[in-house]
Amino acid sequence: MRRRKFIKNSLFGMMGAGLYTWQVEPFWVDFVYKKMHIKHLPKKLIGKTIMQISDLHISKKIDLAYLVRAMQKAQKLKPDFVVYTGDFLDYTGAKQFSRLQEVMKKATKGSIATLGVLGNHDYGHRWNDAKAANQVSKILRSCDIHILRNQIKRFQGLNFIGIDDYWGTNFHPSKVTKQIHSKAANLVLCHNPDVCDLKVWNNYQGWILSGHTHGGQCKPPFLPPPILPVKNKKYSSGTIDLNDGRTLYINKGLGCSSLQVRFNVRPEVTVFTLRKDYEVNKVKMS
Ligand SMILES: [Fe+2]
């Protein structure tokens, strides 16, 4: 009798965990709040917010209404800047473009600016379809989202530096990192955190916002995620001090790649409040 009860309870437990992983956590967005100290930040930007949204993975497999709902909720926080760190699509064909337009015209926008970079999935099959990536950029531009493809754009004295995707066909980071002015306020957007380990940074000091890993999507409690699409397995999610003046932040993404499953890795929207760098020392000294 006891054995039968144990098996029955175990089966119910497994079904509950499966249902939670499939139907609850993938839609349970975590709004994460952080401070971002930036050197040479203009006074007028202190206290302004940068919202990071990543890895939407728009496809026929994902509930588009969920993405729109999440971004409308994010919009209510009235971000000053919004940055998208790649993988807008799970690109499989041209039909995806209408879905992209449909979702992104309702996407969260910053009151000052909205920017982004592309991810590997925006480059289609084997991350090799340059035409698809160009079309993704064009559609996003029509939705007032500036896509930075090894480019810098300055808004109110803050430089946004966008590196095109590592696995795509337009990865030329040095082209843009050599233009970074160390006496300016800078922020880098770069989809794949593995780029941090390449010798392309030209002594850049400051923050790098990434996505790509989805935090592994599923992970056991207190243990690292078993699957991460990066070479450097330290690059899972959250804030990582690279110990050379650079700070990496990896957002866990809003959508799901391949399968709609998440366990112990909730989808994320990150809200950074801007602070001038000298305030760090002030706090430490007080
Ligand atoms: Fe992704």
Reading the chain (286 residues) residue by residue, the pLDDT tens digits are 566 666 666 666 667 889 999 899 999 999 999 999 999 999 999 999 999 999 999 998 889 999 999 999 999 999 999 999 999 999 888 888 999 999 999 999 999 999 999 999 999 989 999 999 999 999 999 999 999 999 999 999 999 999 999 999 999 999 999 999 999 999 999 999 999 999 999 999 999 999 999 999 999 999 999 999 999 999 999 999 999 999 999 999 999 987 899 999 999 999 999 998 764 444 444 3
Tokens 């499953």 map to which residue?
261
Q: What is the CATH number of domain 2-285?
A: 3.60.21
- 258 CA to middle of ligand 1, Å? 9
Residue type at position 281: N
Cβ within 8 Å of residue 97, ≥6 positions away = 135, 136, 139
The pLDDT, as a whole number, for residue 282 is 46
- 188 CA to middle of ligand 1, Å? 18
Distance, in Å, from the CA atom of 3 to the CA atom of 240, rounded to the nearest integer, reads 47
**Which segments within 23-110 are labelled E, that is strand?**
30-38, 49-53, 81-85
Within 10 Å of residue 158's Cβ, how many Cβ atoms? Answer: 24
- 102 CA to middle of ligand 1, Å? 19
- 270 CA to middle of ligand 1, Å? 16
Quote the DSSP letter at residue 89. Answer: B
Q: Smallest Cα–Cα separation from 216: which of 204, 205, 225? A: 225
- 217 CA to middle of ligand 1, Å? 10
**Do β-strands 49-53 and 268-276 pair in parallel, antiparallel, or remain unpaired?**
antiparallel
φ/ψ of residue 109, rounded to 5: -125, 150
- 40 CA to middle of ligand 1, Å? 32
- 216 CA to middle of ligand 1, Å? 10
Cβ within 8 Å of residue 163, ≥6 positions away = 117, 148, 150, 171, 173, 176, 177, 188, 189, 190, 191, 195
Sheet containing 268-276, strands listed edge to edge, beginning at the edge strand earlier in sequence? 30-38, 268-276, 49-53, 81-85, 113-117, 146-147
- 284 CA to middle of ligand 1, Å? 37
- 86 CA to middle of ligand 1, Å? 7
Within 10 Å of residue 129's Cβ, how many Cβ atoms? Answer: 17
Yes or no: say if 29 and 73 are a contact pair by the CB < 8 Å rule.
yes
Within 10 Å of residue 26's Cβ, how many Cβ atoms? Answer: 24
- 83 CA to middle of ligand 1, Å? 15
- 205 CA to middle of ligand 1, Å? 26
Distance, in Å, from the CA atom of 250 to the CA atom of 235, rounded to the nearest integer, reads 7
pTM: 0.93
The pLDDT, as a whole number, for residue 60 is 85
Within 10 Å of residue 69's Cβ, how many Cβ atoms? Answer: 14
The pLDDT, as a whole number, for residue 26 is 95
- 277 CA to middle of ligand 1, Å? 31
Q: Is 76 exposed, middle or buried (0-12, 13-18, 19+ CB in 10 A)?
A: exposed
- 120 CA to middle of ligand 1, Å? 8
Tokens 């015209």 map to which residue?
105
The pLDDT, as a whole number, for residue 15 is 76
The pLDDT, as a whole number, for residue 188 is 98
Yes or no: say if 216 and 229 are a contact pair by the CB < 8 Å rule.
no
